[in-house]
Amino acid sequence: MASRKKTKRRKKAKGKAAKAAAFKPFSLTQFKKSTCTHGWDHTEYSDNHDCHKFIEATIEAFERTKSISDIFDAAEKAALEHKYPEIWKDPSKLEWIASALVSIGVEAYCCEDEDFLCVSSAAFSEWIHQYIAHDHHKSMPSVYSARLHELLYADERRIIGYLKKRIPCSCLNSSYNMVKHLPKKGICGSLGCSRPERKVELSEMWSCEACRREHYCSEECQAADWSRHRGECKVWSEWKANCGSSQPS
Ligand SMILES: [Zn+2]
Ligand SMILES: [Zn+2]
Ligand SMILES: [Zn+2]
């Protein structure tokens, strides 16, 4: 549970999660023994199953990574398809891994005070869900990169809200109660933004009207990003037109 003191420290450390890096090794073995594993059933596969090795390799990759923007590369390298081909082919194993990563994110947040591991795990879990939707179920036309980007640079309100929604226990309730009144914020989708990590209130952001999937801090940033966004915008807009309201939020 987050104490008031801890919240103050977090406020001071605001923004650090996005930068970086050194945290003490997270022990998966220790976590499996804790009283609450936040909805993740680690006994579904035996401890020496590749699924557990996949998660360990991913956590190690996060720990070696120096920058939040490199964590997908690092995690993918650690758990590349040729190492675990049968896992990547099996949506149920991937779901189980994604659930583990959400729980690790929760544990990192409320028990270990490890913001970097928390956002890395949450974002990689989201990426796995998108991979399942896109590659296995064909229910998404592409990876929703703006959402991944938002999660990687998420503020406390967003990251706690994201994780809380995905766990059955009440471990994040008190933390959520402390941040839920804060305004929802996003970060600019333009790669050329002069203040790329600045959080902006959603109500003040410029959204791409065609796809509603990308948000910017200014009209200038939106215009500057169009050459990059154009391709994915077309994919999402066409998909939106075809799928109507059946798309996931
Ligand atoms: Zn819990
Ligand atoms: Zn911008
Ligand atoms: Zn668009």
Confidence of residue 3 (pLDDT cuts 50, 70, 90): very low
Of 133, 164, 182, the residue at which a domain comes to its end is 182
Residues 130, 207 within the same domain: no
Asked whether the beta carbons of 28 and 59 are under 8 A apart, the reply is: yes
**What's the confidence (pLDDT) of residue 249?**
43
- Between the CA of 7 and the centroid of ligand 2 the distance, in Å, is 28
14-28, 150-164, 169-183, range with the lowest pLDDT: 14-28
Q: What is the pLDDT of residue 244?
A: 58
Q: Using only C-alpha atoms, what is the Rg of the chain?
A: 18
Amino acid type, 104: I
Distance between CA 141 and CA 121 in Å, rounded? 23
Same domain? 152 vs 207: no
Q: What is the pLDDT of residues 104-117, one digit of tens each?
A: 999 999 877 788 89
User: If pLDDT is split at 50, 70 and 90, which confidence band does 91 have?
Assistant: very high
- Tell me how far the alpha carbon of residue 247 lies from the centroid of ligand 3, in angstroms: 16
User: Residue 187: beta bridge partners?
Assistant: 199
Residues 47 and 89 in one domain: yes
Residues 67 and 112 in one domain: yes
Neighbouring C-beta atoms of residue 97, cutoff 10 Å: 22
> Which tens digits make up the pLDDT trace of 33-80?
999 999 999 999 999 999 999 999 988 888 888 777 777 777 777 776
Q: Render pLDDT for 126-142 as a digit per residue (tens, 0 to 9).
A: 999 999 999 999 999 88
Domain enclosing residue 85, as ranges: 4-182
What is the CA(92)–ligand 3 centre distance, in A?
A: 31
At a CB cut-off of 8 Å and minimum separation 6, what does 242 contact?
none
Which residue, of 147, 182, 217, is where some domain finishes?
Answer: 182
> 10 Å Cβ neighbour count for 15?
13
pLDDT exceeds cutoff 70 at 173? yes
What are the residues facing 206 on neighbouring strands?
216
Distance from the alpha carbon of residue 182 to the mean position of ligand 1, in angstroms: 23
Closest CA to 25 of 104, 123, 106: 104
Average the pLDDT over each of 2-16, 105-119, 120-134, 210-224 and give the range with the smallest value. Answer: 2-16
Look at residue 83 in the predicted model and tell me its pLDDT.
83
Q: Which residue among 182, 212, 234 closes a domain?
A: 182
Residues 6+ apart with CB under 8 A from 114: 23, 24, 26, 108
